[in-house]
Amino acid sequence: MRKYLTVICLFMLSAPLMVTAQDPQFSQFYSAPLYLNPAFAGATQQARIGLNYRNQWPAIDANFVTMSAYFDTYLEDYNSGVGFLLMRDTEGQAGLKSTSVGLQYAYQLYLTPWLTFRPGVQIGFYNRNVNFNDLTFGDQFNPVTGEIENPSAETFGNLSKNFIDLSFGGVFYTGNAWLGGTFNHINKPNTAFDNGSNPKQLPMKISVHGGLKIPFKPGIMGSGIYTRPQERSLTPTFQYKKQGEFDQMDLGLYLTLEPLIFGTFYRGIPTKSIQGFNNNESIVFLVGFTKKGKDDALNIGYSYDYTISKLGASSGGAHEVSLSYSWSNRDPRKPPKNVMQIPCPDF
């Protein structure tokens, strides 16, 4: 009986954390493009590899650590992009771990000379498991000294679950604006460790994201034949996501002064409340570095989430790091196609 009470307590304690972000989230959501929307596979018109790391609330036990790695490339002969996404997420003291592999395909459809639409699809393979080895139970403690002296008699069996997940997305874009949307977990897979009479469906997540790049007079880098313009722009952008009964909004600005990029975001919906608390989560501060060559680009970003919810700044906020590198993979002997790159930020 104690085993089941322990499990109930663990999930009750983690409930306030799970409802605010049932899926992992990235503050630098455009630096995790394949996680944001499968339509971004191949969107740079190049080959690209990237890494993301996020540590949320590191000062408390109920923290979240998320890591991802991805690769995508553009197939010019087929007006298509393909991508591969690997995710690893660890939640809370009990060590609920989720590992997923996603395979993606996107097609680039030219609607008009100035408007392009990219639909995309992802099929994902998930494994979730819980590790109770780091927890302690009452029967392990000496009642006199309070020290842990005995192994626990509690057994939990094999708490592991595998399932397949399906997602669709799409993005419309012009030379300086974009608007996209994603439907994740369309098949609402059963994530319950017990495959019996109590299924637990993963709620479908809906995301809408977009922005507008406002260019300024470019800067100048280099001299002579090596002179090239440096981007100067202001980019307001947003992301709205809803999963089950819970939703959230990211509103912010990017300021690009190449090679540096600065950004700030507000996350929350101040007009709504969750279990009696205002839906204000954090203010995000971001700084990035970009180095662009003739046929390649390197992007490095760091962001910090300052927690403004009831959890407070003592939670440690969230630290996030992103890294991506893209390079041309087209045959230089072939004449270039009339392609258009999505103007969204790299961070």
Instruction: Identify the top-confidence range among 60-69, 110-119, 271-280.
Output: 110-119
- Structure-token pair, residue 45: 């018109």
Lowest mean pLDDT among 1-15, 54-68, 320-334: 1-15
Determine the residue type at 126.
Y
Closest to 137 in 3D by CA, of 149, 120, 126, 145: 149
Cα separation, 159 vs 180, in Å, equals 37
Q: For residues 70 and 85, is the Cβ–Cβ distance under 8 A?
A: yes
Residue 224 pLDDT level (bands cut at 50, 70, 90): low
DSSP H helix total and E strand total for the chain: 2, 18
Mean pLDDT within 76-82: 94
- What residue segments make up the domains of the chain, in order of their start? 2-327
pLDDT in tens, 290-300: 999 888 999 99
Residue 31 pLDDT level (bands cut at 50, 70, 90): very high
Cα separation, 25 vs 157, in Å, equals 30
Cα separation, 70 vs 34, in Å, equals 7
Closest to 108 in 3D by CA, of 151, 73, 61: 73
Determine the residue type at 4.
Y
pLDDT at 138: 60
Residue 7 pLDDT level (bands cut at 50, 70, 90): very low
**CA-only gyration radius of the chain, Å:** 23
Q: What is the pTM of this model?
A: 0.86
Cα separation, 343 vs 109, in Å, equals 16
Q: What percent of the chain has pLDDT over 70?
A: 80
- What are the residues facing 279 on neighbouring strands? 269
- Structure-token pair, residue 130: 């819980």
pLDDT of residue 59 exceeding 90: no
Q: Which residue has the higher pLDDT, 337 or 72?
A: 72
Q: What is the CATH number of domain 2-327?
A: 2.40.160.40
Q: What percent of the chain has pLDDT over 90?
A: 58
pLDDT at 257: 96
Instruction: Identify the top-confidence range among 88-97, 157-166, 189-198.
Output: 157-166
* Contacts of residue 213, Cβ cutoff 8 Å, sequence gap at least 6: 176, 177, 233, 234, 235, 343, 344
The mean of the pLDDT values for the chain is: 85
Residue 228 pLDDT level (bands cut at 50, 70, 90): confident
